[in-house]
Each structure stands twice: as structure tokens, then as C-alpha cells.
Amino acid sequence: MDERAIEKDIVTDFRERMSYGAYLDLDTLLSAQKPVSVPEHHDELLFIIQHQTTELWFKLVLHELLAARDAFDADDLGFALKCVARVKHIQKTLTEQWSVLATLTPTEYAQFRGFLGNSSGFQSAQYRAVEFVLGNKNAAMLTVFESDSVATELLTRVHREPSVYDALWRCLARAGLDVPESALRRDVTAPYARNDDLMPLITHVYENSTENWAAYEAFEEFVDLEENFQLWRFRHMRTVLRTIGQKSGTGGSSGVGFLQRALELTFFPELFAARTEIGQT
């Protein structure tokens, strides 16, 4: 087989140049996988990388959602929806990623699960921050992170701030849409609850999309965002069921039952309720 020659202009001397590995800090990244099973179980590396990769994607999701919220605040609807669109693609990657963990059989996982102690994805501060930014706020969750000052600071901040959904309504109100005061003045620290005052506006936008295209597009992007989140939750639940059945979670939750109840949560209830209203005579 012929060898492919290195092109003469390709840089090979990195004694005084930044390399790919240095830019990405690969020494740190690739040394962060530290199995705790004794003897070390072959499949624990998969389990660690799956969750570390998820946390990296959560970091980007949070970055994009906060940028979207700031863009709505600045009335830059286009950039805000670009950020939301990127999140949607990340969500698809996160959902498909469960198929890799699903290759872990119950017997394989059982051989190192006991070494995890009480560590659990339930304790993911970034995941909780994402939920808070989307509007599913729960002050009681802050107690889980009391031993982690960095996580507590992050979650306390996003808990007190408006959600990206709140920011959307304020942006649309400034654009001239008849957004009710109840949506603009709500307590942003409270878990979001359906506001029927919004229904006339939402149905009007859907039934007159040509004249309200920006709002119509925003609504559909948010519907996609929630649907993708629910698909991720469902794949999570099914992967757990496939791997541990009805056992309790390592963090003390009921396991599959706890994850099933999460499927009943909704971030943007009015956008889905409008489907029932539209087209009724």
C-alpha cells in the first residue's frame, strides 16, 4: 500500500507553537476518566465517558440558552432563535447517545454499580441549571448542592433570573404583540405554570402566521425544544429500565418510576395547549 506523504507545508514542530492537544487541553481531558471499581471493570470506562460527554454537551446547552435569553432581552430575535436551533441539534446528539450506554447489559453494570456509592445523574448541577433556565424551577433542589459552592452559586443565580420563555414573552411584547401583563409580571422564581391569559395571543399568531411570522417561528422553535427534551427523557428512562429494571437509583430515587414522572413535566404548556384550540369552531 502506498503511503500518503506529509505535505511539505504541514506544521510538525510544536516546540514554540500551539498544538491541537494543547488548545483542547487533552492531557487534562483524557486523564479525567478514573474508574473506581476494584478490580477495574472493562465497562466502567464507557459509563464514565458517557456521563462526562453528556456534561460537556450540557455546558454548551446552558451556554446557548443563556445567550438566547440575552438576545431576547436585546430584541435580537434572529440570534436568539439561532441559539435555540443549535440546542435542538445538541439534544438530538444527547438522545442518540443513550444507544451507546444501552450496550451495557444488566450483568455488566451490576459488576461495578456498587462502587458508585450514592453518585447519580440526579446530582448534575448543569442539568438542573438547564431545567431552571427553561422554567422548571424548584428551590428545594438547591439543598442537593449545598456541599458544592460553585454549583450553588450557579443554580441560585439562574433560579432568581427569568427563564428563556419569560424573555421570549417580554421580547414579543416590546415588538408590539398583545402579551398579557400576567405573563410579563409573574414571579420568575416560581415553577412555570400554564397561563390561560396567553391562549388568545398564541392562537391568533398561529391562525395569522403570515402577519406574525417572527412570533410563529419562535413558537415552533420552542415546541421543538420541548419535544426534543421529552425524547431525551424518554430514552433516559428506557435505558435505565433496560439496564437496572425497577431497582432504586444509586442516588436514592425510585429509579424508573422517578424518570417516568418527569415525562409529565412541561416547559411551555400554552404552546401545546394551543393545538387543541386551533381549528375549533
- Residues making up the annotated binding site for heme are 236
Grid coordinates of 120: 447519580
DSSP state of 148: -
Q: Which residues are annotated as a binding site?
A: 47-51, 109, 113, 236, 250
Q: How far apart are CA 141 and CA 152, in angstroms?
A: 10
Grid coordinates of 164: 428563556
Q: How far apart are CA 224 and CA 88, in angstroms?
A: 7
What residues contact residue 99 under an 8 Å CB cut-off, 6+ apart? none
CA quadruple 20, 21, 25, 31: dihedral positive or negative?
positive
Q: Which residues are annotated as a binding site for substrate?
A: 47-51, 109, 113, 250
Angle of CA points 105, 107, 109, to nearest 5°: 70
The candidate with the shortest Cα–Cα distance to 94, out of 253, 248, 273, 232, is: 232
Q: Where are the alpha helices (DSSP H) in the chain?
A: 20-23, 26-29, 44-73, 77-101, 106-113, 125-134, 149-160, 164-174, 181-184, 199-207, 213-244, 256-262, 269-277
